[in-house]
Amino acid sequence: MSEIEIRDVAMRFRGRHGEVTALERISLTVPDGQFACIVGPSGCGKSTLLMVAAGLITPTEGEVLVNGKPTVEPGADRGMVFQSYSLYPWLSVRRNIEFGPEIKKVPAADRRKTSSELIHLMKLDGFADAYPKVLSGGMKQRAAIARALAGDPQVLLMDEPFGALDAQTRQIMQELLTDIWQRYRKTVLFVTHDIEEAIFLGDVIYMMTSRPGRIRTTLAVDIPRPRTFDTITGPRFAELRNQVVGVIHEESLKAVESELARA
């Protein structure tokens, strides 16, 4: 059991220009083993929501429960992957992956076994001793995912992990992530502004409004798995994409208009 329950979460930031409402009463439940995607225009509060779920910030109202436990601080039950900065630059790939287990005092031999498996699984063979700065963007994010998986968390929280990658690399990463997810069946909350990415990966897509962020529409992705490259060229993919594009376009326009109104 590793359900994520977001209960009436609201977040207001006090800034120099007064209060900013980033999130307004968000509620949703990600059942055990589900891959849930959140899409929405830039600035709608996606990262804020994920930070609350991670326990990195405290919401103004509401709470997030993982396995029924409020996420008031970061915990080993939740693995995080961000767009960048997920790796320690001063540690090798292997040491990065073993960092969490090392803190938890997992015996060295077990750590090593886990990191070796993950290095192979994430296609990083030959790079165990390399430092992050020599890795390509895709490799860095594969290492970051390996690092997040190393503590065997029940839940993965991912904030635009492929956002900085080129389109081809992103596609490969998405295929790899679906493989990993099929294998481990983690409960995943995945944030992206990339509509096709959300459809390819998700069981369900939550579309957010422009700021203040609310859930506007929920869409079940009824494309069978395993999803492959052919999925993207299929007719159902195009239908779903058109549905989501319409909604997100409307919300993005609103975001631009309110930016102009504030300027």
Rounded-to-integer distance, Cα 242 and Cα 89, Å: 40
Per rule CB under 5 A, is residue 47 in the interface with Mg ion? yes
Report the site for ligand ADP in 146-175 (rule: CB under 6 A).
none
State in angstroms the smallest separation of the CB of 116 from ligand ADP.
35
Distance of CA 94 to the CA centre of its chain: 22
Residue 252 interacting with Mg ion (CB under 5 A): no
22 binding ligand ADP? (CB under 6 A): yes
One residue of 44, 157, 205, 240 binding ligand ADP per CB under 6 A: 44
At its nearest, how many Å lie between ligand ADP and the CB of residue 203?
21
CA separation, residue 254 to residues 14, 191, 230, 258 (Å): 22, 20, 34, 6
Alpha-carbon span 62 to 12, nearest angstrom? 12
- Rounded to a whole number of angstroms, the minimum distance from the CB of residue 247 to ligand ADP is 15
The window from 13-21, 110-118, 134-142, 173-181 that contacts ligand ADP (CB under 6 A) reads 13-21
* Contact partner, 124, from Mg ion, ligand ADP, none, Cβ < 5-8 Å per class: none
The residue with tokens 């590793």 is: 2
Of the candidate spans 15-23, 44-52, 118-126, 240-248, the one that interacts with Mg ion by CB under 5 A turns out to be 44-52
> Interface with ligand ADP by CB under 6 A: which range of 14-22, 58-66, 168-176, 230-238?
14-22
22 binds, among ligand ADP, Mg ion, none (CB under 5 to 8 A by kind): ligand ADP
Report the candidate in 239, 154, 248 with the shortest Cα–Cα distance to residue 206.
248
Query: Which one of 40-48, 64-72, 94-102, 111-119 is the stretch in contact with ligand ADP (CB under 6 A)?
Result: 40-48
Q: By CB under 6 A, is residue 13 in contact with ligand ADP?
A: yes
Please state whether 220 falls in left (phi above 0), alpha (psi between -120 and 50) or beta.
beta
User: Minimum CB separation from ligand ADP for residue 252, in Å?
Assistant: 11
**CA-based nearest residue to 263, from 29, 148, 255:** 255
CB atoms within 10 A of CB 203: 18
Give the count of beta carbons closer than 10 Å to the beta carbon of residue 68: 8
* Backbone angles phi and psi of 254, in degrees to 5: -60, -40
E strands present in the chain: 4-15, 18-30, 35-39, 61-66, 69-70, 78-81, 155-159, 187-192, 204-208, 215-220
Alpha-carbon span 215 to 200, nearest angstrom:
20
Residue 86 in contact with ligand ADP, rule: CB under 6 A:
no
Peptide bond into 41 cis (omega under 30): no
Query: Least distance in Å: CB of 194 to Mg ion?
Result: 12
- Residue in 1, 15, 109, 183 binding ligand ADP, rule: CB under 6 A: 15
**From the list Mg ion, ligand ADP, none, partner contacted by residue 15 (C-beta under 5 to 8 A by kind):** ligand ADP
Select from 41-49, 69-77, 105-113, 202-210 the region that touches Mg ion (CB under 5 A).
41-49
Which positions lie near Mg ion, rule CB under 5 A? 47
